Amino acid sequence: MYRVHLDQFEGPLDLLLFFIRRDELDIHDIPIARIADEYLDAVRTLQELDLDAAADFIYTAALLIQIKARMLLPRLAVDDDGEPVDPRAELVERLLDYIRLKEGAAQLTTAAEARRHVFVRGMAGEERALAPEAPDAPLRVSLFDLISALGTVLRRSAPVEPVTHAVERESYALDEQRAWLLAALEQKGQSFAALLRGRTKPFVIVTFLAALDLAQRQLVRIIHGVTPHDFALERAVPAPEPATA
């Protein structure tokens, strides 16, 4: 149930700001010891949920603990006027910077919202023309989209034959599958899922690799957005000079 709420915090500084706002703390006089402990608790929870996101939080937690430790020690560093430097100063500076920036981002959102109500010449035509055949943007496809499509097909693929405990040679080769794929796309573009319905896992996987390979050689185009878990393939006119030697 914590997951939903951690989503509210975009990053490690947001989590810190959350504590400050929640307890209505004076940002120039943060009770570091308490906040550091609380922060660490939150990061532990986060770590259990999402290790990737936790890395940035762990860094900030470490920073807080370091400041907490420095607060306990005699202050050795002095500023230009010979005054002892508050170990929190740099963090506070960053937080203030971040607060201003977030406000800038919010103002930009307002500006974008206003802009959305204004239309310029030529826009309508572009939109209308683009809408039916939008997918001319191969970069929109992330690797994760493709992997997700592969996963969908694999789950649907024909069950592997009963285990025979014999090691057989991989029965599909990449260049065979490249040829197979090009032939299959000869007439018209097809969706990846439709193309491989009922095929076995080795067949699907090698064909997937063949599709990536052909896309890289610009012999097929990958068109994303058919459904979230599928993509389409079609023959592409090869570039005048193939990049591969």
Partner 1 sequence: MDAPAPLPPFEQAVEALLFASDVPLRAEDLAAVLAEVWGEEVEEAAFDAAVEALNQRYAAGGHAFRIRRLGGGWRHATLDTLAPVLRTLFTDDRDRRLSTSLLESLAVVAYRQPVTKPEIDHVRGVNSDYALRGLLERGLIDIDGRSDSVGRPLLYATTPAFLDLFGLGSLDDLPKLREIEEILTDPSFHRERSRLLSELAAAAAPAGDPDARTPDA
Helix (H) or strand (E) holding 191: strand 190-191
Least distance in Å: CB of 215 to partner 1?
17
5 is a site residue for partner 1 (CB under 8 A): yes
Q: Which residue among 72, 73, 76, 105 contacts partner 1 (CB under 8 A)?
A: 105
In the complex, least distance from residue 112 CB atom to partner 1, rounded to whole angstroms: 5
Whether the Cβ atoms of residue 193 and residue 152 lie closer than 8 Å to each other = yes
Nearer to partner 1 among residue 16 and residue 204 (C-beta): 16
**Closest Cα partner for 231 from 148, 155, 133?**
148
Q: Of 116 and 155, which has the nearer Cβ to partner 1?
A: 116
Q: Is 62 in the site for partner 1 (CB under 8 A)?
A: no
Smallest distance from the beta carbon of 226 to partner 1, in angstroms?
Answer: 16
Is residue 144 part of the contact set for partner 1 (CB under 8 A)? no
Note whether 131 binds partner 1 by CB under 8 A: yes
Q: Smallest Cα–Cα separation from 92: which of 6, 205, 13?
A: 13
The residue within the footprint of partner 1, chosen from 10, 168, 170, 186 (CB under 8 A), is 10
- Residue ranges in 182-241 that form contacts with partner 1 under rule CB under 8 A: none
Among 29, 79, 127, 176, binds partner 1 (CB under 8 A): 127
Give CA torsion, residues 112, 113, 114, 115, to 10 deg.
Answer: 50
Residue closest to 183 by CA, chosen among 233, 240, 133: 233
Q: Applying CB under 8 A, does 23 fall inside the site for partner 1?
A: yes
Report how far residue 147's alpha carbon sits from residue 208's, in angstroms, rounded to the nearest whole number. 9
Chain centre distance of CA 130: 26
Q: Does 24 bind partner 1 (CB under 8 A)?
A: yes
Q: Is 232 within 8 Å of 226 (Cβ atoms)? A: yes
Which candidate, 225, 226, 209, places its Cα nearest to that of 217?
209
For partner 1, the closer of residues 41 and 176 by Cβ is 41
Which is nearest to 96 in space by CA: 28, 39, 35? 28
Binding site for partner 1 (CB under 8 A): 1-2, 4-5, 8, 10-13, 17-18, 21-24, 27, 56, 59-60, 94, 96-105, 107-112, 114-124, 127-128, 131, 139-140
